[in-house]
Amino acid sequence: MVKEAKMGDMEELVSDFSRFYILTILYEGPAYGYSILSRFKKRVGKEVSPSLVYPFLQQLEEKGLVKHTMKSVGEKRKKVFELTREGRELCLGLFKRFAGLVSAAIEPSLQICAHCGCKVYEGGYREVIDGIETTFCCIHCAESYKEEKRFSKSLVEEVR
Ligand SMILES: [Zn+2]
């Protein structure tokens, strides 16, 4: 039973990583659905299910973070997906935060702003979020961080 529960956690983690990775592909520029699938496989070395990719793209679109245009490919009309300006900004915020978390893990003595990823040498701004003391360079970063956290939480909940 314990093993099964752990496996469930694991799958959830992988699927969140997949979403994160799909965002990095979209960030590179406009892409067809199938090219997202093939780029994912090429880089991660693992297939990603279309049943994860397409609903995720649709959710992003409903939130105004992705838009699509139709392009003719031979006889067929295909959707090209791309991030909106807001979508790009949000992704960049998430990537910086992720990069910040990675640097903090390799250089534990370094304080990193949890939102923008910049180095915080002294001062900075601290706030307890979800029971964890979190460091930011300024109060504005703390506000944006909480907003993005709510956003990513809502994405994960909707997919379930
Ligand atoms: Zn900051």
Residue 28 in tokens: 């590179």
Please give, one letter per residue, the 3-state secondary structure of the chain.
CHHHHHHHHHHHHHHHHHHHHHHHHHHHCCEEHHHHHHHHHHHHCCCCCHHHHHHHHHHHHHCCCEEEEEEEECCEEEEEEEECHHHHHHHHHHHHHHHHHHHHHHCCCCCECCCCCCECCCCCEEEEECCEEEEECCHHHHHHHHHHHHHHHHHHHHHC
**Distance (Å) from CA 118 to ligand 1 centroid:** 6
The values of phi and psi at residue 49, to 5°, are -75, 135
Across 1-5, 144-148, 153-157, the highest mean pLDDT is recorded for: 144-148
pTM of the shown model: 0.63
Span from the CA of 66 to the centroid of ligand 1 (angstroms): 25
How much is the average pLDDT of 35-59?
Answer: 92
More confidently predicted of 47 and 102: 47
CA–centroid distance, residue 84 to ligand 1 (Å): 23
Instruction: Determine the residue type at 45.
Output: G
Q: What's the gap in Å between 119 CA and the centre of ligand 1?
A: 8
Residue 134 in tokens: 């979190």
CA 151 to centroid of ligand 1, rounded, Å: 18
The residue among 90 and 156 whose pLDDT is bigger is 90
Ligand 1 mean position to 42 CA, how many Å?
A: 33
Tokens of 117: 């990823």
**Confidence band for 140, pLDDT divided at 50, 70 and 90:** very high
Distance 139 CA to ligand 1 centre (A): 8
pLDDT grade for 156, boundaries at 50, 70 and 90:
low
Per-residue pLDDT tens over the stretch 89-130: 888 888 887 887 787 777 767 788 888 888 887 778 999 988
Separation between Cα atoms, residue 27 and residue 10, nearest integer Å: 26
Quick one: pLDDT at residue 5? 58
**Residue 132, pLDDT above cutoff 90:** no
Going from the Cα of 133 to the center of ligand 1, the distance in angstroms, rounded, reads 15
Ligand 1 geometric centre to CA of 13 (Å): 26
Q: In order of start, what are the domains of the chain with their CATH numbers?
A: 2-83 (1.10.10.10), 87-159 (no CATH)
Q: Which residue has the higher pLDDT, 107 or 43?
A: 43
| Mean pLDDT value across residues 118-146 | 88
Spatial distance between the Cα atoms of 89 and 15, rounded to a whole number of angstroms: 22
CA 104 to ligand 1 centroid distance, Å? 14
* pLDDT at residue 10 in the model: 46
Cα of 19 vs centre of ligand 1, distance in Å, is 24
pLDDT in tens, 6-40: 655 545 554 578 888 999 999 999 999 999 999 99
